[in-house]
Amino acid sequence: MVKLIGIKKINIAVFISGTGSNLKNLISHSLRKKSRYKICLIISNNSKAKGLNYAKKHNINKKIIHYENITNAEKTILKELKRNSIDLVCLAGFMKILSAKLIKKFKGKIINIHPSLLPKYKGLNTHQRAIENKEKFCGCSVHYVNSKLDSGKIILQKKVRIFKNDTAEKIKKKVLKQEHILYPKAISKVIVNL
């Protein structure tokens, strides 16, 4: 944590693999005057992730993790988390699964955003599966990360209506909009207990 004019700020690392629209949104929230957190580190398993451009733009440390060997990959991750004094890890479209060992080391300090109303539709292609099942609602969830995929305790959720002519692509856009409202709210809720 860094102390800024008497206010302790939480140091956050955001893990991404692609576009990074959630990352971009979290950075902009973190730059608000009253923000209680700072994005200090961006980690990606994908050196071509578009979201990595925000590191340079906002002068944030970044680290690309090579995943040929998960043990080595996670050793590097832990080293970076320590080096940057990270208090909270926010997964945002990170396409690798963290090991139980790493999660244990950061217990209660890793959260994720998932594009469905968990516990429904864990994993990939959530919107397409919701359409095929004729769901009336989809949405997004922010949850703590535990050793089972998309299964940790839910922090916040937001419902989004599915209309008759909605495609997975249309739903993705609607849900992403809500994700950008939900994730900062969930972080505010979580950091009170850190």
- What is the binding site for ligand GRF (CB under 6 A)? 16, 18-22, 51, 92-93, 113-115, 140, 176, 179
Find the shortest distance in angstroms from Cβ 126 to ligand GRF: 8
**Cβ-based burial of 172 (10 A; exposed 0-12, middle 13-18, buried ≥19):** middle
Distance CA 158, CA 142 (A): 9
Find the shortest distance in angstroms from Cβ 64 to ligand GRF: 16
The answer to whether residues 43 and 120 touch, using CB atoms and an 8 Å cutoff, is no
Q: State the catalytic residues.
A: 114
Beta carbon nearer to ligand GRF, 8 or 120:
120
Find the shortest distance in angstroms from Cβ 181 to ligand GRF: 13
Element spanning 181, H or E: helix 168-191
Beta carbon nearer to ligand GRF, 18 or 108:
18
Beta carbon nearer to ligand GRF, 1 or 146:
146
Distance CA 85, CA 83 (A): 6
Distance CA 138, CA 135 (A): 7
Q: Residue with CB nearest ligand GRF?
A: 93
